[in-house]
Structure 1
Amino acid sequence: MDTLAQLKSELDSEYQTTRKFFDIYPDNQNDYAPHEKSMKMKSLANHLADVFEWPNTMLKTSELDFADGDQPVLSSTKEDLLKKLDDNYKSGIDALENAKEEDLDSTWALKYNGNELAKWTKYASIRHSLNQITHHRAQLGVYYRLNDIPLPGSYGPSADIQSF
C-alpha cells in the first residue's frame, strides 16, 4: 500500500474544497464569532490555512511545543488568505512527495511548555491534521451559514449551491 500517495490525494482533495470556501471569504466579517468562546472568523480561517503546512512540520520535526512558537501572522483579506492557503498546501504536499514510507513510522508529539499533550506516529499525526482540516472547514461553514453566505459543496452539492 502506498500510504504517502493516499495522504497526498486526501490533502489535495481537502485543499480543493477549502479553496472553494476561501474564494467566498467575506473580508468584512473578520471579527465575526458566533459565541464569545468561538474564534473570530479571521483567526479560524487562518488556522485552517495553516493546517495545510502541518505535514511538512510533522515530517521534519519530532515535536511541536506551542509555548515555544511565535504567534502566526493573520491574513486579513481574501487574497492574502488564498495565498497563505496556496503556499501552505505547496509546503505540505512537497513534504509528502519527498518523504519515504518509513518516515511515517517515527513518533511526533504535541506539547505545551514541555508537557506532552498527544503523541502519535507521524502517519497518525498527519491523519489527525487532515481531520482538523475537515473540522475547521465545517466550523467556517457554520460561520458562513449564520451570515447568509451560500456554502459551496464539500463532498457533494450543498443546499445552497447545486453543483453536480
Structure 2
Amino acid sequence: MELIPMFLKELEQEAQTTRDMLQRIPDDKYDWQPHEKSMTIRRLATHIANIPTWVTMALTTDELDFANNPYHEDVINNTAELIDYFEKCLVDGKSQLVLANEAILNQPWTLRNGEQVYSVSPKHEVIRMVFCQVVHHRAQLGVFLRLLDIPIPGSYGPSADEQ
C-alpha cells in the first residue's frame, strides 16, 4: 500500500475542515487569548495555517534543531490574510508530497534542541504527527471560538451549532 496517495487525500480532507475553522475568526479578535498562558488567536491560527509546511520540512530535511532554527512567526492581521497564508502553506506541503517517493518515507528524521534529542522517527511517522498537530490545534481554536460565542463548524460530522 502506498502512503503518499493516502497522505495527499488526508491533507486535502483536513484542509477543508481547517479552512472552515479559520474562516470563523473575526478580524477584531486576533489579539484575544482565553488565559495568560494561552496563545493569542493570532498566534494559534497562524501556527495552524503554517503546519502543512511541516510536511515539506519532513520530506526535505533530516532534522529540526531548535537551537539552530529559532521559531519565526509570520504576522497575520486578518482572516483574509490568514486564509491566503494557509493556502500557500497547503500548496507547499502538497507539492512536496507529489514529488516524493515512497522510499524516502522510511528515512529517519530527528527533532532536537542542540544535544537534546526529543525524537527520531521515520519520515512517514513525522507526517502523521503533522496531521495530528493540525487536529490538536484546530480543537484548541474551537474552544477559543466557543468561549467568544462564535459558532464553530463540525470536523467529522456536524457541530452543536450546525444541528
TM-score (norm 1): 0.94
Give the aligned residue type for 2:59: L
Q: Which moved more, 1:88-97 or 1:110-119?
A: 110-119
Q: CA deviation at 1:26?
A: 1.4
1:4 aligns with 2:4: yes
Q: Secondary structure at the match of 1:28?
A: helix
Q: Distance in 2 between matches of 1:18 and 1:75?
A: 16
TM-score (norm 2): 0.95
The equivalent residue for 1:112 is: 113
Q: Secondary structure at the match of 1:153?
A: coil
Q: Secondary structure at the match of 1:68?
A: coil
Q: How many residues align?
A: 162
Q: CA deviation at 1:138?
A: 0.3
The equivalent residue for 1:87 is: 88
Q: CA deviation at 1:113?
A: 3.0
Q: Distance in 2 between matches of 1:119 and 1:75?
A: 32
Q: Secondary structure at the match of 1:119?
A: strand
Q: Distance in 2 between matches of 1:74 and 1:120?
A: 31
1:72 aligns with 2:57: no
Q: Distance in 1 between matches of 2:82 and 2:66?
A: 22
Give the aligned residue type for 1:76: N
The equivalent residue for 2:16 is: 16
Q: CA deviation at 1:106?
A: 0.3
1:103 aligns with 2:91: no
Unaligned runs of 5+ in 1: none
Unaligned runs of 5+ in 2: none
Q: Distance in 2 between matches of 1:36 and 1:72?
A: 19
Q: Distance in 1 between matches of 2:75 and 2:113?
A: 21
Q: CA deviation at 1:110?
A: 1.2
Q: Aligned ranges for residues 1-164 of structure 1 at < 5 Å?
A: 1-70=1-70, 71-162=72-163
Q: Distance in 2 between matches of 1:113 and 1:38?
A: 26
Q: Distance in 2 between matches of 1:105 and 1:75?
A: 35
Q: Distance in 2 between matches of 1:13 and 1:89?
A: 12
Q: Which moved more, 1:135-144 or 1:36-45?
A: 36-45
Tell me the C-alpha RMSD between the 2 structures: 1.1
Q: CA deviation at 1:27?
A: 1.5
Q: Secondary structure at the match of 1:160?
A: helix
Q: CA deviation at 1:151?
A: 0.4
Q: Which moved more, 1:80-89 or 1:70-79?
A: 70-79
Q: Which moved more, 1:153-162 or 1:39-48?
A: 153-162
Q: CA deviation at 1:119?
A: 1.5
Q: Distance in 2 between matches of 1:84 and 1:69?
A: 21
Q: CA deviation at 1:127?
A: 0.4
